[in-house]
Each structure stands twice: as C-alpha cells, then as structure tokens.
Amino acid sequence: MSASSDFPLFQVNEDHEAIREAVRDLAAAKIAPFAAAVDEESRYPQEAHDALVASDFFAPHVGEEYGGVGADALATCIVIEEVARACASSSLIPAVNKLGSMPVILAGSEELKRTYLTPLAEGRSSFSYGLSEREAGSDTAAMKCRARADGDDWILNGQKSWITNAGVSDYYTVLAVTDPDGPRGSNISAFVVEKSDEGFTFGEKEGKLGIKGSPTRELIFDDVRLPGDRIVGRPGEGLKIALRTLDHTRVTIGAQAVGIAQGALDHALAYVKERKQFGKSIAEFQGIQFMLADMAMELEAARQMVYVAAAKSERGDADLPFFGAAAKCFASDVAMKVTTDAVQLLGGAGYTRDFPLERMMRDAKITQIYEGTNQVQRIVMARQVLK
C-alpha cells in the first residue's frame, strides 16, 4: 500500500485547476439556483443535465477515441466534487455515468465500447449500473437475477434494487447468474441492457431521505432477450469486473462526499461571520473556531485521500482496492460529520429549509451506504492489510 516509485501520489496541475474553476462557475450559475427545488420536488435535475452536456462535463471520463474529452480520474473527481458542492443529486450524473460505463471500459469488446461510449460521451445517452438486489446488497454473489443462453442470445429474468438514475438512463450494465450450478462468484456475467429492450421495465421511484433529485428505482426483467454481443467480457467474469469497477468508482463517491462537505462548510462560514450574539460575531467565539478548525482539517484530509486514490485509479496501482475503499469510507464519514456540525453552527436556522445545510446533511448520509457500506469498506481494507 505504497505509492509507485515512478510517480508522486498525485499532482494537481494547471489543467485540473482550470477544470475546477470552470465547473465551479457552471455550478454557481446553472446548478445551485435549482438545487432546493430539485430536492423539494424530488425531480431529476434536468437543468444540471443540460448544462453538463453543453460543457463536456456530462461523462468527462470517456476517452477521446470514443468522442469524449478523456479526463483523467483526478479531473473527473474534481468535476464531481464541484458539482456536489452545489447539488449532490446533480453530481450523480457524471458519477453514475462513470459507474455504469466502467465495466464496458474495463472489459468490453471494441465494438461494445464504440456502440455505447460514443453516445455517452456526446451526451445523447446516459448509463446506470445494476448490481444490487433486495437480498443481495453487500453479499453480491447471492444475486438471483438469471440470464440463460438461448442460441447466440441470452434471456434475462429477475430484478435489481436501488438503481441510481433508473428510468432516466438509456443503458444499464446488469450482472446476472449465467451458470446456476457453477462455483459461487464465478458464475455471474455482465451485460448491457438498453432501456428500449422488450420486457425491461422499472419499479416506482423510492421515497428517500436525500439525493431526492436522482431517481432510485428497481429494474425488472421479464424474458428480456439480449443479443450475444451485449455480454461484457467473458461468461463467468461478471463479478470480477463488477468489483474492479467499484475499486475505481468508490473514489468518485469520496469526491462527492468531499464536495458536499465543502459546500456545507462554505455556508457555515458565511453564516458565523454574519451572525451576532452577545455583541459580536459568533465567529469570534473560541468554541465556534474550534469546530470550524476541525471541520476544515478533516475535510482537507478527506480531499487528499480522494486525490491520492484518484491518481492510483488512473495508474491502475495494485493497492487501489485499499485506497479506493479508504477514500470513500473516510470522506463519507467526514461529510456526515461536517454537514451535521454545519447544521449545529446555524442553530435553529440550520434546521430549516431556508438554508441548504439540512439538505446537505440528508444528502451526505447516502455516501456512507452506497457503492458498498462503510462497514464493507473496512472489510476490504482489512483484507488488503492482512495480505
């Protein structure tokens, strides 16, 4: 679990800072003004979607050979971080586009990549990821979704739960058991399913605590016929591909968590400088200053961990599983703490919808749960440490 001897842990260069400035300006102008309404109305942030497409930040990770901008992993994290600073729901657009398409990038045929990555890069289509089921969350190998061979095709039956941006996305990477009698974990394959495929439908939208602008629904498959060329990798490789995907994309959840925490700290700082009690700004009280110092310190530590993990993702370092899990786990715990403390700093005002802090606190919670709970992240880290 050490840095490669040939590279620094990470390096934020001028291009990265230019991307940060551009996304921050975009978020302030075209995402933040709608964030409260998106949450209040539980509606998809179409304004953010359109703005991200127009600015090439919709799926920045897609390579130039497929019509994308080819942003590296760190640049992609900066995009997600800066969008999340304004609206966590909106930050799931680039984040889930990477999650859904990463199996294709890692293991798909060249034909599959050109078919699905090009429209994604151009903003004509979006991607989601179908791994979890009602009884197969942390225990992914226990999934019941099945795909059976039928000539050159596959017939898909079953369901997937908690799927982010379900119903909005056109494409879905779906994991299914293809050899029911095969060894557990080596009997699962990955497929690309299209929204228009006959027999593929969606459940009702989940009513959620946070990220209300990002629809979460079940995927339901009823004899969905998939052409043989829709398989990602070889039969039986699905779970390995899924876990490799998560090694890379957990880093983006860390970035989302950092962005949420930064947004909360920004609002808290502005408030404590203006709020007066006992004849002076509450920012002058040492108790408040200690809270702010801890929030800023922990946030910066989380950011550094995420950036290190992003660099390791880009290089494909062998210790990425540890660093990806650590970055996601630590940053999400920090986001929950910082947003809760930010609400506290505003007192009664923080508990109202007049300020965005209560929304940020609700949004932060999911970062400790999805793409592997933080308890699972600790299992991943422990296994790496014990190797």
Whether 100 and 136 map to the same domain: the answer is no
- Nearest partner of 261 among 339, 318, 204, 203, judged by Cα: 339
Segment among 87-96, 132-141, 352-361 with least mean pLDDT: 132-141
Mean pLDDT of 31-57: 98
Which of 214, 236, 258 delimits the end of a domain? 236
Whether residue 1 lies inside any domain: the answer is: no
In a domain? residue 51: yes
Within this chain, do residues 291 and 268 fall inside the same structural domain, yes or no? yes
What is the per-residue pLDDT across 75-121, written as a single tens digit (0 to 9) for each? 999 999 999 999 999 999 999 999 999 999 999 999 999 999 999 99
Among residues 126, 158, 176, the one where a domain terminates is 126
Residues with catalytic function:
371
Listed as own residue / partner, the contacts of 132-137 with beta carbons closer than 8 Å and 24 or more positions apart are 132/160, 132/161, 132/162, 132/163, 133/158, 133/159, 133/160, 133/161, 134/159, 134/161, 137/161, 137/162
Q: What value does the mean pLDDT of the chain take? A: 96
Give a yes or no: residue 8 inside a domain.
Answer: no
Asked whether residue 268 falls in the same domain as residue 183, the answer is no
Same domain, residue pair 232 and 348: no
Instruction: Provide the domain limits for residue 186.
Output: 128-236
Q: Is 357 within the bounds of a domain? A: yes
Residues 259 and 342 in one domain: yes
Structural domain contains residue 4 = no
Residues 93 and 179 both lie in one domain: no
Average pLDDT over residues 223-250: 97
Residue 278's pLDDT band, with cuts at 50, 70 and 90, is very high
Cβ proximity of 299 and 57 under 8 Å: no
Predicted local distance difference test score (pLDDT) of residue 273: 98
Q: Indicate whether 99 and 193 sit together in one domain.
A: no
DSSP 135-204: TBSS-GGG---EEEEETTEEEEEEEEEEEETTTT-SEEEEEEES-TTSPTTSSEEEEEEETTSTTEEE-P
Q: What is the pLDDT, as a whole number, of residue 171? A: 98
The per-residue pLDDT for 255 is 98
Counting residues of the chain whose pLDDT is more than 90, the rounded percentage is 96
Do 87 and 142 reside in the same domain of the chain?
no
User: Residue 366 pLDDT > 50, yes or no?
Assistant: yes
Amino acid 4: pLDDT: 46
What pLDDT sits at residue 5? 44
163, 261: one domain: no
What pLDDT is recorded for position 302?
A: 98
What is the total count of domains within the chain?
3
Global pTM value: 0.96
Determine the pLDDT at residue 279: 97
Average of per-residue pLDDT across 323-328: 98
Q: Are 61 and 167 found together in one domain?
A: no
Name the domain boundary from 126, 144, 164: 126
Q: Is the pLDDT of residue 24 over 90?
A: yes
Sign of CA dihedral 114, 115, 118, 121: negative
pLDDT band at 9 (very low <50, low <70, confident <90, very high): confident
Residues 119 and 134 in one domain: no
* pLDDT of 365: 98
- Whether 187 maps to a domain, the answer reads yes
CATH number for the domain that contains residue 142: 2.40.110.10
Mean pLDDT of 338-362: 98
Q: What is the mean pLDDT of residues 10-33?
A: 97
Query: Taking 50 as the threshold, does the pLDDT of residue 3 lie above it?
Result: no
pLDDT at 6 over 60: no
In a domain, 5, yes or no: no
Within-domain flag for 79: yes
For residue 8, the model assigns a pLDDT of 64
CATH number of the structural domain spanning residue 274: 1.20.140.10
CATH number at residue 84: 1.10.540.10
- The answer on 370 and 244 residing in a single domain is yes
